[in-house]
Amino acid sequence: MNSDWEVLFSPKAGLACDHYRRFEEDFDLARSLNQNAHRFSIEWARIEPEKGRFDDREAAHYRQVLQALRQRGIRPLVTLHHFTNPLWVFRRGGWENKSTIGYFTSYVRFVVNQLGDLCDFWGTINEPTVYASEGHLFGRWLPGKRDPLASATVLKNMLKAHQAAYEIIHGIQPEAKVGISHNMTYLRFPGLSDAFSIFDRKVIGWAGKQDFIGINYYRAMGRVNDLPKTDLDWAIYPQGLFEILLRLKDFRLPVYITENGIADSHDDQRADFIADHLAAVWRAIRGGADVRGYFYWSLLDNLEWARGFAPRFGLIEVDYRTLERTVRPSAKVYARIAKNNSL
């Protein structure tokens, strides 16, 4: 596969959890865990491996994925860009190049025309601030830059691409729901607390038209020494999600929590993590937050980008040697919550 990450960066995904071929088995597991919605991403490099050449076989593959979800009564939320790019996009300057806006919208038009009869719930771009900062400000991802101006350019181009994609999708599917998944971290400074930064508020505003706001929430930062930590040393703070959801009321848009999860290889914190965060969501709803859905990240263990395969976020454990799936005890707790619609 000619994606920039797989060709130029390490660790490489390779076969990973082999969900590409085992999706029906995995969706059976999701259904058995009482999940009624599933978020997944389309790999741009599969759909358009060369500029202007769209791969009908890959489009057919994603049709099969969507059909498999619908056959099981699971609603799909499809993300169109999740950090990786076709190699040809990278070699043309990636998201620093304004032309990438047009490249992306051409790809979006193809995908929605091919798959729109099976999906009307779209995320254009996943975590544009993370993509812009990790690769162009902190230098931890491709292209490994430490350039604030480049980072700002990338973010601006991604948000413009979202705006253009929004119009394209609605032109094809007037009733579709289209949004962005924004990464949110609670800034915990007792006495000076604010749920999310002025910058985060600005990014939501700069994104322009959105039918919903997607929120990816994992942790608090700041004064967190007293908080429990995940395997990645991220501070666990469900109250932060509650506070963020209340602040988002100002935007008067529906909210979906598109990611919330924990790296927990021993599965000794995940059940409480899920229950406590869902309780925070419920309290926010009672406080007037218009929250429409929650997606745990993730169904399966998988590649955690530059951190590789060591972090274990999955409700389902994957043995990367045999690819055997094992439902974790915490997944069964989550399944009971989903079935009973209560904590």
Q: How would DSSP label each residue in 15-42? A: TTT-HHHHHHHHHHHHHHTT--EEEEE-
Q: What percent of the chain has pLDDT over 90?
A: 94
Q: How would DSSP label each residue in 196-208? A: S-HHHHHHHHHT-
Res 101 pLDDT > 80: yes
State the fold for domain 4-340.
TIM Barrel (3.20.20)
From residue 264, how far is each of 185, 318, 339 by CA, in Å? 19, 13, 24
Res 325 pLDDT > 60: yes
Nearest to 16 by CA among 234, 323, 334: 323
Whole-number pLDDT of residue 201: 84
Whole-number pLDDT of residue 230: 98
pLDDT tens digits along 1-53: 789 999 999 999 999 999 999 999 999 999 999 999 999 999 999 999 999 99
What distance, in Å, lies between the first and last C-alpha atoms of the chain? 42
Give the span between the Cα atoms of 121 and 177, in whole angstroms: 5
Would you report the helix, strand and coil content of the chain in percent, each value rounded to 5? 45, 20, 35
pLDDT tens digits along 142-162: 999 999 999 999 999 999 999
What's the count of helices (H) and strands (E) in the chain, helices before strands?
12, 9
Res 233 pLDDT > 70: yes
Give the span between the Cα atoms of 322 and 256, in whole angstroms: 34
Res 196 pLDDT > 80: no
CB 131: neighbour CB atoms within 10 A? 25
Q: What is the mean pLDDT of residues 197-226?
A: 92
Res 195 pLDDT > 60: no
Whole-number pLDDT of residue 199: 81
Reported confidence tier of residue 189, pLDDT bands at 50, 70, 90: confident
pLDDT tens digits along 53-67: 999 999 999 999 999
Across the chain, which distance is largest between two alpha carbons, in Å? 56
Domain locations along the chain: 4-340
Rounded to two decimals, the pTM is: 0.97
* Residue 224: partners with Cβ closer than 8 Å, 6 or more residues away: 188, 235, 237
Q: What is the mean pLDDT of residues 120-138?
A: 97
| CA angle centred on 37, ends 237 and 162, rounded to 5° | 80
Nearest to 323 by CA among 66, 82, 26: 26
Nearest to 337 by CA among 29, 75, 33, 37: 33
Whole-number pLDDT of residue 97: 98
Q: Backbone dihedral region of 291: left (phi > 0), alpha (psi from -120 to 50 degrees) or beta?
A: beta
Whole-number pLDDT of residue 1: 72
Query: DSSP label at 223?
Result: S
Contact between 178 and 169 (Cβ < 8 Å)? yes
Give the span between the Cα atoms of 5 and 81, in whole angstroms: 13
Work out the mean pLDDT of the chain and round it to a whole number: 96
Q: What is the mean pLDDT of residues 186-191?
A: 81
Res 342 pLDDT > 90: no
Reported confidence tier of residue 341, pLDDT bands at 50, 70, 90: confident
pLDDT tens digits along 74-95: 999 999 999 999 999 999 999 9
Tell me the sheet residues that pair with 79.
41, 123
